Amino acid sequence: MSKSVSILVGLLLGLIFGASLSYSGSSALQGARVLTEPLGLMWINAIRMTVIPLLVALLVTSIAGRKETGLVAKVGIQTFGLFFFLVAVSGLTALVVAPYLLQSISISPDAAEALITSEAPNSERFQNLPNFKDWLVSLIPVNPIAAAAEGSLLSLMIFTGLFSLALSSLPIEAKDNVIAFFVGIKEAMLVLIGWVMALAPIGVFSLVFSFSSAVGVSAIAALSSFVFIAVCLVLLITGFLYPIAVMGGGVSLKQFTFSCLPAQVVGFSTRSSVAALPATYNATKALGISADLSGVVLPLAVAFLKYATPLARTTGAYFIAVLYGIDLTFYLLFILAASISLLSFYTPGIPSASLLIMTPIFVSLGLPVEGIGILIGVDFIIDMFLTMSNVTANIATVTVMSRRDNSDV
């Protein structure tokens, strides 16, 4: 059995057994959840401990190791152009398709109130999200070591990028030893990642089993139509990535599909593009993409590109408008989709964070902020598919850029 298939089997078994526990209430299965939950969390921690060293090593070796720093800047500019194109596709899909699909959805006030009340504690973790000014200032880290320790990915990347450019300007004898040091770190991290990913079927099973058994499906019964529509739309734009990768990157559909699968499963189960980074990097290796290019494009994609966020969050915001009987004109819908698309670049890399970033948009458009509580109540399902789509977009971006990079060499 291949690694991709074994990871997928672990995911499906975790969902099946977790759902069985949720319905049965068996004390024996409850005991199984207590045992499996730490295994899943330990596996996630094992993935996360490789992310910061791998990101830094990839950036340093990819930028400082290049003979032409101007080519690095060109790749970065082209990458951001592709980011804006993909995010625009996501936002336009929500603007054109979502309103027509959501018109018929309704929910009783009692069900809405119950969801808001039951999910209110989950929003506490977002109360300390920075405002835009503080976020902008924090991009230049006062202490790069502290930024690494706190997992401040954007700040750390900016410092590492500037450090790499400075390193590349030094004489060869001065920079070679430093680059060799980071090459060693990169290779060691790749070996460690291989060990961790060998345990992926067990880790994915444990994580999904404990998650699905604890949450169940009863909390989303009243909102199942909205969840179904949102998930289908996310899958729709995810499917759009495949022809982009095939035609833009010059790879076969079969090769791209099977290379993406392990990273997609990790993103789906963890709800974190950052946690899926090691598997995403392995996917680019399987596609034959150079480590130098992946080292530049992948960190940018993980930090900035939230491909499915505009679609999922615009659909959610429009659902709240329908729910509360608020009529949004096409102009307001356009403002909604455009605002969420732009804010997606600012969204922190934690599960469901983009929902609370929407608060100022809700206020400016006259939508009830309380509606975000409803969206949080069912977001654990949507966010799984959203993250899987974002991970696929990261791989597709690197694939497309690999062809452009080769044409420039």
CATH number of the domain within which 166 lies: 1.10.3860.10
User: Residue 48 burial by CB count (10 A; 0-12/13-18/19+): exposed, middle or buried?
Assistant: middle
Q: Which one has a higher pLDDT value, 192 or 370?
A: 192
Q: How confident is the model at residue 122 (pLDDT cuts 50, 70, 90)?
A: very low
- Domain span at residue 292 reads 3-408
Q: Longest Cα pair distance anywhere in the chain, in angstroms?
A: 71
pTM of the model: 0.71
Q: Is the pLDDT of residue 351 over 70?
A: no
pLDDT tens digit string along 294-322? Answer: 888 888 888 788 899 899 989 988 888 87
pLDDT tens digit string along 139-161? Answer: 788 888 888 887 676 688 788 88
pLDDT tens digit string along 244-296? Answer: 999 998 899 999 999 999 899 888 888 778 788 888 989 999 999 888 788 88
Q: How confident is the model at residue 385 (pLDDT cuts 50, 70, 90)?
A: very high
Secondary structure (DSSP) of 331-366: HHHHHHHHHHHHHGGG--SSTTHHHHHTHHHHHHHT
- Tell me the backbone φ, ψ of residue 139, rounded to 5 degrees: -65, -30
CB 164 within 8 A of CB 64: yes
Q: How confident is the model at residue 113 (pLDDT cuts 50, 70, 90)?
A: low
Q: How confident is the model at residue 350 (pLDDT cuts 50, 70, 90)?
A: low
Average pLDDT over residues 386-406: 87
In this prediction, residue 348 carries a pLDDT of: 55
3-state secondary structure 187-244: HHHHHHHHHHHHCHHHHHHHHHHHHHHHHCCHHHHHHHHHHHHHHHHHHHHHHHHHHH
Q: Which one has a higher pLDDT value, 399 or 383?
A: 399
pLDDT > 90 fraction of the chain, expressed in percent and rounded: 16
pLDDT tens digit string along 50-90? Answer: 878 887 887 788 777 655 555 566 777 888 889 899 999 99
Residue 121 DSSP one-character state = G
In this prediction, residue 375 carries a pLDDT of: 77
Average pLDDT over residues 206-230: 67
In this prediction, residue 118 carries a pLDDT of: 45
**Side-chain half-sphere exposure of 184, counting CA atoms within 13 A:** 6
The domain total for the chain is 1
In this prediction, residue 218 carries a pLDDT of: 44
